[in-house]
Amino acid sequence: MAGPDKEMAAHELIAALFDVVVDEARRNRRFARRLLSVYPQSVVARIETAPAKPRGAGQPDLHAVNILRRHGEAMLRGRLSALRTKAELRAVARASGLRLTGAAMRRSASKAEIVDGIVEAARHYLAQRRQATRG
């Protein structure tokens, strides 16, 4: 976070403020309840009784670039093909820092097109890394 002398944009200041508030509410239940007291009791009751989602719920736990680098393309394709939905495949691409192109980026892309797009993007990423480290 910026020091007191550094200028920050308004949205950065607000984001920093809310980060502190959320962090404190996460650690201090009493503080969280005080914040929730501004809402009607029916809303608070639904929040407190809602089942908590585990962190990263719905996010596949794999990184396409690392799998390609360590285990090869066949393993990557196998792991990607095992995912059930196109949303999970797209989440893998995002979590891996990959930008899908061509047919894979279309909203109507098939699972196979998204898998191909992820493999191609991961290959491209590794090729760029190799080129950059060769100097």
The stretch 49-62 carries a mean pLDDT of: 62
The structure's pTM equals: 0.57
Give the per-residue pLDDT at 36: 83
The stretch 107-130 carries a mean pLDDT of: 94
What does the mean pLDDT of the chain come to? Answer: 85
Give the whole-angstrom CA distance, residue 17 versus residue 35: 14
Higher pLDDT: 53 or 68? It is 68
**Region of residue 66 (left: phi > 0; alpha: psi -120 to 50; beta: else):** alpha
Start-to-end CA span in the chain (Å): 34
Give the per-residue pLDDT at 115: 96
For residue 93, is pLDDT > 90? yes
The stretch 18-26 carries a mean pLDDT of: 86
Give the per-residue pLDDT at 3: 53
Question: How many C-beta atoms lie closer than 10 Å to residue 110's C-beta?
Answer: 12
Give the whole-angstrom CA distance, residue 10 versus residue 109: 39
Give the per-residue pLDDT at 10: 85
- Name the residue among 103, 107, 104, 57 with its Cα closest to residue 80: 104
Let me know: does 122 contact 99? Beta carbons within 8 Å: no
Most confident of 14-23, 50-59, 104-113: 104-113
DSSP secondary structure string, 89-131? HHHHHHHTT----GGGGSTT--HHHHHHHHHHHHHHHHHHHHH
For residue 21, is pLDDT > 80? yes
Let me know: does 115 contact 89? Beta carbons within 8 Å: yes
pLDDT interval class at 14 (50, 70, 90): confident
